[in-house]
Amino acid sequence: DALLHAIKEEYIEAVELLLQWEEKHHQPDKPYSWEMADCDSSSFTPDITPLILAAHKNNYEIVKLLLDRGATLPYPHDVKCNCDECIILSKADSLRHSQARINAYRALISPSLIALSSRDPLLTAFDLSQTLRRLSRMESEFVTEYKEMRNQVQDFATSLLDYTRTSYELEIMLNYNPNGENWDPGERHTLERLRLAIKYKQKM
């Protein structure tokens, strides 16, 4: 678990060296360490992958190093999922199964991960916020964690507007419609992003 420890310490040079070493010595029939969790680690729970840990640290450089090598972080299965994997994990340790879901979402709301992996960061933030709102109601024992994460991702969505340098950039962002034609200055304001925020019950 040397890679996980290097990520935990945010030692970027060590992370890069470990990744490069593994690429040179990789065995074709085995997965890369950044594609999986270390089930034998004594310091980290089995659900913690390198990308999840880097996202928890919100370390842009390390997240990028991992994403550039193909590391991914899929959304967790639904709380009510009845697939074989979820049933087995829940029966074995329902608390750990729930904690693994929380760890995954805590990584998914990382501004660095969203910025580097999403084609529409604002929509991704809105979608995550809505999902976390639903989870806070379904898993009442973890309501505090889910509400805290929802507040964080909402703050991220709001902060995106702060990066606009001119009123023109702000207008572009507020009127952006990924499924329609580009908005041009002088046209009627559609405020698609504001409508989307209302739909997802977001603060902006």
> What is the pLDDT tens value at each position of the chain, 204 positions in all?
889 999 999 999 999 999 999 888 877 877 777 666 666 666 788 899 999 999 999 999 999 999 999 999 989 998 888 999 989 988 888 999 999 999 999 999 999 999 999 988 888 998 999 999 999 999 999 999 999 999 999 999 888 877 777 776 666 666 666 666 665 566 565 656 666 666 666 665
Q: Which helix (H) or strand (E) holds 81?
A: none
Q: Is residue 64 part of a domain?
A: yes
Q: Is residue 5 part of a domain?
A: yes
Q: Is residue 11 part of a domain?
A: yes
Q: Is residue 3 part of a domain?
A: yes
The domain of 30 spans: 1-73
Q: Is residue 139 part of a domain?
A: no
The CATH number for 39's domain is 1.25.40.20
Q: How many domains does the chain fold into?
A: 1
Q: Is residue 47 part of a domain?
A: yes
Whether residue 157 contacts residue 132, with contact meaning beta carbons closer than 8 Å, is answered with no
Instruction: Mark 130-151 as b/e (b = at least 16 C-beta within 10 Å).
Output: bbbbebbeeeeebeebbeebbe
Q: Is residue 26 part of a domain?
A: yes
Q: Where are the beta strands (DSSP E) in the chain?
A: none
Q: Is residue 51 part of a domain?
A: yes
Question: Phi and psi at residue 77, in whole multiples of 5°?
Answer: -65, 155
